[in-house]
Chain A
Amino acid sequence: MAGRKSERLINLVIALLASSRWLTRDEIRRSVVGYENLSDDAFFRIFERDKADLRSLGVPLETGSADPWADEDDAYRIRRDDFTSTALALTGPEKTLVALAATVWNEATLGAVTSVAAAKLDPAPLAPAPAAYALGATVPADDPALPVLWEGVFTNRPVRFTYHGRLRQVEPWRLILRRTVWYLVGRDIDAGPRLFRLSRITDRPHLKTRAPRFTPPAASIIDDCAAGLAEPAPTAHAQVAIRPGAAAALRHRGCVLAPTESSAPAGLEVPAGYDLVEIPYARVDDLVSEICAAGADALVLDPPRIRHLVLAHLRHTAGLAEAPRGGAADETTGPVSGGRP
């Protein structure tokens, strides 16, 4: 029964907290209510599981020995210093934020640990008013790999998972959320530091609880591994003709040029009914996608390479409705002539 087990675990915690010295396994078996009337085997099995359960709750249960010359570590203690409050001195508004943060996870595992953290760090709130800031957030956490990797990162223990068809041993350093996508930065024992996308992990990661804890590197080293995720700074400009009031996001990023002859690229005229907008860009593919999405509302004038790419994509899409029925089809290139390699 759950109640009996809870009683036994609480009694064990109280007994260890109340004792100023190591308690041996035998002393625990004799004195703690709940371990009486058990066979040796049953006691040993139940006590092992109880220790593991308490540790999983963050109870700092130490194993050692009262006798410095003993061969075996068969005594236990909980230092009251370890158990005492880590409560933060929070101001009223900060308490409200912590209460609000405890609502962010809609995933069961991380939601529960976050509620526990909020309760431990702020043991005296009693003001459940997260509406105060008119703010809310939900963190996408439904990736099945996340809880195990989380445990690995915050206990500094290695994990094992399959990625790109290979089983890897990884020291997990940092979890990164970019909008909806989780990444892990870590050291692949065989291949060195690298970035993993959680959605590309093809099995359920395994936490190596018996492996020694690793020491994570300096933050700057982790930052370097994550640098590939940063948005690159724009390195070039495109001249795009945009209809007034249309392609709003694209227009907002750019700078509308005065309608003078000199502003159009050499040999090209700004079409009637369009403004000329100069748009900074970093990645050609992203800009091409964005311009294609705007259809006739945004026409590229310059550079010609971007215009060719946009025209090729548009020719492909223009023929899409007549394409052979997709999905099951085996072709990997579109049926439309666009001249793209």
Chain B
Amino acid sequence: MSGSIDQVARLLLLIPFAQRHPGVSVAQTAARFHVTEQQIRLDLAVAFMCGLPGGLPGDLIDIDMDALDSDGLIFLTNADVLTEPLKVTATEAAGLTVALAAIREVAAPSVAALVDEVLAKIALTVPGVSGRTDVSLAAGDPAVRGSVAAAIAEAARIRVTYAGQARGVVTTPVVDPVRITAFGGAAYLIAYSLDRDDWRTYRLDRITAVEPTGQASSRHGPPPADDAWQSSLATSSTVTITVTADSLWITDYLPHRGFRPRADGGADVDLPVVDPAWLDRLLLSLGDTVVGLIPSAAATGAAERAQAALAAYRTAGLADDEPQR
């Protein structure tokens, strides 16, 4: 029966809303409540049957059915006791405060200040929300976010200094920035790379500098969806790595296809791998907490890079001392 619960929740908002906006269209109302126009018509049909106890015609909510059927406009009257929406609960308001806090994390400082205004108003209006949540995402330097957001607002082409993770190389692509978004716990700039002639996604916390180019950005059509990277994960191959308990945290922080705990506290983790260089870096960074790999050939890149590093230490005269206990 959750359908009727949702409908009642909506009607308690819709009846006051329609009275405040005489002649509002069904289409606008449907968009407002995130349901179909058909659903709004069903909701109004229910409202039409409701009213004060007694059930006499004068007691019922009145809806102008001609205007509704022929023009798609809503004129709802005779619902004097339901002119105000329901008081918001802390459970509901908190959904909004966490969402606002997430936006605050990725926004430029000026927008973050606006978020704080709204959060303060909510805290004053709804008791029991303030101080009960705390959100932080990897969103980098606020000054960088501010520069990027300003460039988006002004449609300005910029050069970013980007400390790319997979290969550890600094690049300075010229990009047309269009959007900042957060998913998977980190904030990203979605921009059109003039160098690559394609859309690229840059992690904001790896952008170390933003320079104006003095040029305006061009239009490149709609950017890919925020979660387009997930579809690249969906078609990627799987590597299973066995980690000790010390690296069990990767099951929380890395996208994975499942994991199986082991008796020793570690786990076998199935990782989707799009870029072999990413896996190399991961294996190197996990060091001796990785105790197995399927297929083992997937470790070849990391092993070669480790051998090269050991050779560099030997050449530099830095590898000859054995560990002390």
Residue B216 at the A interface, CB < 8 A? no
A93-140 interface (Cβ within 8 A of B): 93-94, 97-98, 100-102, 104-105, 110-121, 123-126, 128, 133-140
Name the A residues within 8 Å of B291 (CB-CB). 323, 326, 329, 331-334
- The listed residue (A2, A87, A101, A249) touching B206 by CB distance below 8 A is A249
Partner of A120, one of B15, B87, B98, B319: B87
- Asked if B220 lies at the interface with its beta carbon under 8 angstroms from chain A, I say no
Contact across chains for B28 and A117 when beta carbons are under 8 A apart: no
Interface size, A (range): 35 or more
CB distance from B181 to the nearest CB of A (A): 4
Is the beta-carbon distance between A15 and B87 smaller than 8 angstroms?
no
Specify the chain A residue showing the minimal Cβ separation from B3: A2
B198 sits at the interface (CB 8 A) = no
**Any chain A CB within 8 A of the CB of B71?**
no
The answer on a CB contact under 8 Å between B82 and A17 is yes
Tell whether, in the assembled complex, residue A126 and residue B132 are in contact, meaning their CB atoms are under 8 Å apart: no
A91 and B270 CA atoms in complex are apart in Å by 48
A201 interface residue (CB < 8 Å to B) = no
As a 0/1 sequence over residues 158 to 192 of chain A, the CB contacts with chain B under 8 angstroms (1 = contact) are 00000000000000011111111100000000000
Interface residues of B in 234-263 (CB under 8 A from A): 240-242, 244, 251-253
A297 to B138, CA, bound (A): 25
Assess whether A211 is interfacial by the CB under 8 Å rule. Answer: no
Choose among A9, A110, A121, A126 the residue that contacts B32 (Cβ–Cβ < 8 A).
A126
CA distance A3 to B79 in the complex (A): 19
Closest chain A residue to B42, Cβ basis: A3
- Cβ of A156 within 8 Å of any chain B Cβ, yes or no, is yes
Q: Which residues from A are CB-within-8-Å of B315?
A: 271
Bound state CA distance, A290 and B244, in angstroms?
18
> Cβ of A199 < 8 Å from any Cβ of B?
yes
User: Which single member of A59, A97, A136 contacts B226 (CB below 8 Å)?
Assistant: A136
B210 in contact (CB, < 8 A): no
Contact in complex: B54, A123 (CB < 8 Å) = no
Mark out the residues of chain A between 228 and 281 whose CB falls within 8 Å of any chain B CB in the assembled complex: 241, 245-252, 268-269, 271
Q: Per a CB cutoff under 8 Å, which of B3, B163, B292 touches A325?
A: B292
B275 is an interface residue with CB less than 8 A from chain A: no
Q: Is the beta-carbon distance between A18 and B46 smaller than 8 angstroms?
A: no
Residues of A contacting B163 with CB < 8 Å?
248-249, 251-252
Interface size, chain B (Cβ < 8 Å): 148
**Known: A249-B206, A340-B323. Is A179-B49 also a contact (CB below 8 A)?**
no
Select B303's contact among A126, A180, A311, A319, beta carbons within 8 Å: A319
B165 within 8 A of A: yes
Given A136-B181, A326-B242: A339 and B94 within 8 A (CB)? no
- Expressed in whole angstroms, the Cα–Cα distance for A269 and B317 within the complex equals 9
Complex CA gap A32/B53 in Å reads 5
Verify B169–A248 contact, CB threshold 8 A.
yes
- Asked whether B115 lies within 8 Å of A97 as measured between CB atoms, the reply is yes
Instruction: Give Cα distance in the complex from A331 to B264, angstroms.
Output: 9
Q: Which residue of A lies closest to B101 (CB)?
A: A177
Q: Does B300 contact A (CB under 8 A)?
A: yes
Compute how far the CA of A249 lies from the CA of B208 in the bound complex, rounded to whole angstroms: 9
Residues of B contacting A155 in the complex (Cβ-Cβ under 8 angstroms): 90-91
Distance in Å from the Cβ of B170 to the closest Cβ of chain A? 4
Instruction: Render B76-89 as a binary contact track against A, CB cut-off 8 A, 1 for contact.
Output: 00010110111111
